[in-house]
Amino acid sequence: MRSFTSVHDVASIGIPTILEQATQFVENPWSFEHLGKRKTLGLLFMNPSLRTRMSTQKAATLLGMDTMVLNAGADSWTLETRDGVVMDGTATEHIKDAAAVMGKYCDVLGIRTFAGLTDYEADYAEVVLQSFIDHSGVPVISLESATRHPLQSLADLITIHQHSFIRRPKVVLTWAPHPRALPQAVANSFAEWMLHADVDLTIVNPEGYDLDPRFTAGAVCTHDQDEALTDADVVYAKNWSATTPYGAILTTDPSWCVTKQKLALTNNARFMHCLPVRRNVIVADEVLDSPQSIVIQQAANRVVSAQVVLYNILRSMQ
Amino acid sequence: MRSFTSVHDVASIGIPTILEQATQFVENPWSFEHLGKRKTLGLLFMNPSLRTRMSTQKAATLLGMDTMVLNAGADSWTLETRDGVVMDGTATEHIKDAAAVMGKYCDVLGIRTFAGLTDYEADYAEVVLQSFIDHSGVPVISLESATRHPLQSLADLITIHQHSFIRRPKVVLTWAPHPRALPQAVANSFAEWMLHADVDLTIVNPEGYDLDPRFTAGAVCTHDQDEALTDADVVYAKNWSATTPYGAILTTDPSWCVTKQKLALTNNARFMHCLPVRRNVIVADEVLDSPQSIVIQQAANRVVSAQVVLYNILRSMQ
Amino acid sequence: MRSFTSVHDVASIGIPTILEQATQFVENPWSFEHLGKRKTLGLLFMNPSLRTRMSTQKAATLLGMDTMVLNAGADSWTLETRDGVVMDGTATEHIKDAAAVMGKYCDVLGIRTFAGLTDYEADYAEVVLQSFIDHSGVPVISLESATRHPLQSLADLITIHQHSFIRRPKVVLTWAPHPRALPQAVANSFAEWMLHADVDLTIVNPEGYDLDPRFTAGAVCTHDQDEALTDADVVYAKNWSATTPYGAILTTDPSWCVTKQKLALTNNARFMHCLPVRRNVIVADEVLDSPQSIVIQQAANRVVSAQVVLYNILRSMQ
């Protein structure tokens, strides 16, 4: 594996192998503590992050890597992404120069960028992430991009794998309300990973919120939450903003909140969310504080997913 | 010792033992440089910090720990502290979820939070600090909370202990003016620690600034600064805002500034302040730049106090 | 070497020795990875920095040092630099106290501060940098100050040295336009270092932009860019604001932009810039993206220059 931006990057290794590696790192987190010796991981955040930053930094430490964290604030350093522009505006550096320089200081780069949620084509072109891949000269890890959050999705997959289901589990990704317009990255990415895993995926959301079929083709997609939840083994709640019109908030209907009553429709399902979560908006306290919730285990697995990814990248560099 | 939030947490170890450990770390700072191997310290600052951050990070390094620093800015990540709330406002995460997640990424957590200075009951309930203790599942160190600053107070105690006094020293905590409303944490905490140490404590402040008796019972409390300073061996200056009404600035009377003339009343007292200090407001240049000032030694001992605390927590984890 | 703020600090070692050390670190970056063991480098940024921070932190890691990074934001922590002031305004700490404390926590300090560009005398007095040298008690490295950027200049020198020229090279420092008023530090410092190196230096800029002769005496100084560029072996482009009146933007004349046509006047010159660079304002894409541009190599050498400086400081401390 060179760079890691989606489920497609683990295709050559194979998901079963990835899950075996995850199990080994859970059992012995320090088993490869010298693999990353003398290697530097640079983490660049174009948007604030605490969870991704801590878990990735911890994973790097477990593998013996040094980490340098950069927070690119809007006022201190803005990147130009267009080619051929006369840069006499606010952007202080072209992304291709920034990427090339960082690639000289770091052996691996992690990049976090968010969707702007105003221009669908621009967001889905993933210009920032792709520029770093094209110009840095080193492996690049997505720490969440405009349209995907693969480290989260891998952690989600590891978490589901850690639970024994009698049958191939029915996994339901349900939209839930939120007061602010959020990207589709977590939902897109979760769908994409589940469709490569040994589960049956159902996606349910209000009309206008249908995700791009490039990520969801193969899943059962519906607009009826009760029907979707029926007999589910895993309920994954997440808000995302509308796809039509792009980035809009079409509804905050509280009836989509995952309550105990909703979970009663399921096959005693585990409840998942990537956190941070708005309590009693996305999910009721009674669910989140019940034994059915596995969100903390899921968050803990962010370290494991980052460690698996860094491990495979470091192995490729040897 | 599990968590460290006040003098009460060192009761089982005993202050004499703590002071012996401090002496050993001053003499050989690297003597336990492998104790914290493979242990991660997470430092969460809800308010800016330079001194506490640097000294605690240095102490962790001396003990071989890895450190991850998080600055929780008001705009990037705001925590809900109330139970049962519908989180449809500005708070993006509930503190109990944040604490549980961080406890998965770190072996020890340090938390810095400040008094809001508008609601006495809320500040003195120490909700943020207590939530991290209750929900993180790992030892928690106060890096200054709403009502106490125990790492500072321990450094103060170590500093006083490093000076030989012929008799049990008279220590005077004197209020001093400041242009902004400051918390009572340093003063509360200093009083509490001194009352457990082998010193005689006098506290002097203008009317309306009397500290909570929960912290000061046993000290001589007065409103006459000259009388208080007379024959003092140690003068500790600090501003704090009024207790009645809570958080107010009742006076900025410059006659409370610690000058050379004031120090002439003392028994050639050492001058202490936790820094940063407003020169010629809290204390005159002529005092701070004289040999009687031990504020830099006191600041240097912040590393020692953090090292002693981390050492005892790491020992308890073995 | 104790502190490092200008070319004068390497006089006793000598530039040839410095360049030999640089060559050795390029060939074997980890050859002294234990030299900085148990030593802490504190990096204090009064202004945002990504390149300087990453390269210096990487250099410290290569030498086995621990690094603590501090970003002093204007709102969180403002330093008083005047003596004898009654500090009842916005400044929360006097620089001499801050420097003394940081010197207790760190073995070496790096300080980044910028020109205010309103008061020539104040900027050129270098009060902040000098205060840290005077009061910290430890070696201080300039990470760019109001009037110099010596780590950049040393990287520039190393880069030029890595290119073989048949003759003593003609190096041309040319002013180029920029939409914002920038300090003169990079230009001053580059001039100063080149005048101590085995090159012929020409400086060309519009009228009103002549640099202080303290930095440029010995160089050919002219206002005719085409004449200056003729037969150049190295073209170093950089914007700086006017010296008369100080800090002004007198022109943004696009004819000063370094284009392919301009480079045609030279002896197939290498193109240099310290980055970040405004594309098609300072320099045309056609130049920056051509093989004549060595700006990425130059940026990579920032690690080398920081490593050489830290190496010599650490050697002096043994």
Candidates 3.40.1410.10, 3.40.50.1370, 3.40.190.10, 3.50.50.60; CATH matching A7-149+301-317: 3.40.50.1370
Distance CA A194, CA A218 (A): 10
Whether C279 contacts C285, CB under 8 Å = yes
What phi and psi, each to the nearest 5 degrees, are found at residue B203?
Answer: -120, 130
Q: Answer whether C104 sits within 8 Å of B299, measured CB to CB.
A: yes
pLDDT tens-digit map of C271-300: 999 999 999 999 999 999 999 999 999 999
Which residues contact residue B67 at a Cβ distance below 8 angstroms, ignoring those fewer than 6 apart?
B40, B41, B42, B43, B56, B57, B60, B61
Q: Partners for C (CB, 8 Å, 3+ pairs)?
A: A, B
pLDDT computed for residue B73 by the predictor: 66
Chain C residues with CB under 8 Å of a chain A CB are: 30, 33, 48, 50-51, 53-55, 57-58, 61, 179, 252, 275-281, 285, 288, 295-296, 299-300, 303
The letter for the amino acid at A119 is D
Would strands A220-222 and A93-94 be described as parallel, antiparallel, or unpaired?
A: unpaired
Average pLDDT (B193-216) is 98
Distance CA A230, CA A226 (A): 6
Global pTM?
A: 0.96
Whether B35 contacts B314, CB under 8 Å = yes
- Nearest chain B residue to C69, by CA: B54
In Å, how far is B179's CA from the nearest CA of chain C? 6
Distance CA A182, CA A200 (A): 26
DSSP track, C37-87: TT-EEEEEESS--SHHHHHHHHHHHHTT-EEEEEE--TTT--EE-STT---
pLDDT computed for residue C147 by the predictor: 98
Beta strands in chain C (DSSP E): 40-45, 66-71, 79-80, 93-94, 108-112, 140-142, 170-175, 200-204, 220-222, 234-238, 270-272
The mean predicted confidence, pLDDT, of chain A is 96
Chain A residues with CB under 8 Å of a chain C CB are: 38, 40, 42, 66, 68, 70, 72-73, 76-77, 80, 83-89, 92-94, 97-98, 100-102, 104-106
- Considering only CB atoms, which chain C residues are within 8 Å of B159? none
What phi and psi, each to the nearest 5 degrees, are found at residue C69?
Answer: -105, 130
pLDDT tens-digit map of A161-194: 999 899 999 999 999 999 999 999 999 999 999 9
CB pairs under 8 A between A and C: 72
Distances (CA, A) of C76 to B71, B213, C70: 12, 32, 12
Rounded percentage of chain A residues whose pLDDT exceeds 90: 93
Q: Answer whether C97 sits within 8 Å of B61, measured CB to CB.
A: no
Q: Answer whether B101 sits within 8 Å of A51, measured CB to CB.
A: yes
pLDDT computed for residue B50 by the predictor: 85
pLDDT tens-digit map of C217-241: 999 999 999 999 999 999 999 999 9
Q: Please, what sign has the CA dihedral across residues B21, B25, B28, B32?
A: positive
Q: Is pLDDT at A69 greater than 70 in this prediction?
A: yes
Average pLDDT (C1-19) is 97
Q: Is pLDDT at C100 greater than 80 in this prediction?
A: yes
pLDDT tens-digit map of A2-19: 999 999 999 999 999 999
- Nearest chain C residue to B57, by CA: C68
Which residues contact residue B194 at a Cβ distance below 8 angstroms, ignoring those fewer than 6 apart?
B157, B171, B173, B201, B219
Decide whether B7-149+299-317 matches B164-293 in CATH topology. Answer: yes
Weakest-pLDDT range from A77-81, B70-74, C167-171, C241-245:
B70-74
pLDDT tens-digit map of B156-182: 999 999 998 999 999 999 999 999 999
Of A167, A149, A162, nearest to A275 (Cα)?
Answer: A149
pLDDT band at C159 (very low <50, low <70, confident <90, very high): very high
Domain ranges in chain A are: 7-149+301-317, 164-293
Q: Answer whether A303 sits within 8 Å of B73, measured CB to CB.
A: no
Q: Is pLDDT at C56 greater than 90 in this prediction?
A: yes
- Considering only CB atoms, which chain B residues are within 8 Å of A296? 97, 100-101, 104
In Å, how far is B61's CA from the nearest CA of chain A? 14
Q: Which residue has the higher pLDDT, C48 or A155?
A: A155
Of chain A, the end-to-end C-alpha distance in Å amounts to 12
Distance CA A311, CA A315 (A): 6
Q: Answer whether C300 sits within 8 Å of A70, measured CB to CB.
A: no
pLDDT band at B318 (very low <50, low <70, confident <90, very high): confident
Nearest to A50 among B77, B80, B104 (CB): B77
Distance CA C50, CA C33 (A): 23
Q: Answer whether C105 sits within 8 Å of B55, measured CB to CB.
A: yes
Q: Is pLDDT at C46 greater than 90 in this prediction?
A: no
Q: Answer whether A92 sits within 8 Å of C280, measured CB to CB.
A: no
Q: Among C37, C43, C105, C106, which would you mutate to test the B interface (most chain B Cβ atoms within 10 Å of its Cβ)?
A: C105
- Nearest chain A residue to C30, by CA: A38
- SS3 for A253? coil
Looking at domain C7-149+302-317, its CATH class is: alpha beta
Largest CA distance in chain B: 62
pLDDT computed for residue B75 by the predictor: 52
Share in percent of chain B as helix, strand, coil (round to 5): 40, 15, 45
User: What was the ipTM of the complex prediction?
Assistant: 0.96
- Considering only CB atoms, which chain C residues are within 8 Å of B36? none
Q: Is pLDDT at C30 greater than 90 in this prediction?
A: yes
pLDDT tens-digit map of B213-234: 999 999 999 999 999 999 999 9
pLDDT computed for residue C76 by the predictor: 60
Q: Answer whether B86 sits within 8 Å of A296, measured CB to CB.
A: no
pLDDT band at C1 (very low <50, low <70, confident <90, very high): confident
Q: Answer whether A279 sits within 8 Å of B86, measured CB to CB.
A: yes
pLDDT computed for residue A73 by the predictor: 66
pLDDT computed for residue A118 by the predictor: 95
- Nearest chain C residue to B30, by CA: C38
The letter for the amino acid at B153 is S
Q: Is pLDDT at A57 greater than 80 in this prediction?
A: yes
Q: Is pLDDT at C74 greater than 60 in this prediction?
A: no
Distance CA C219, CA B91 (A): 60
Architecture of the domain defined by B164-293 = 3-Layer(aba) Sandwich (3.40)
pLDDT computed for residue A77 by the predictor: 76
Which fold would CATH assign to domain B7-149+299-317? Rossmann fold (3.40.50)
Distance CA A182, CA A116 (A): 10
- Considering only CB atoms, which chain A residues are within 8 Å of B136? none
In Å, how far is B67's CA from the nearest CA of chain A? 10
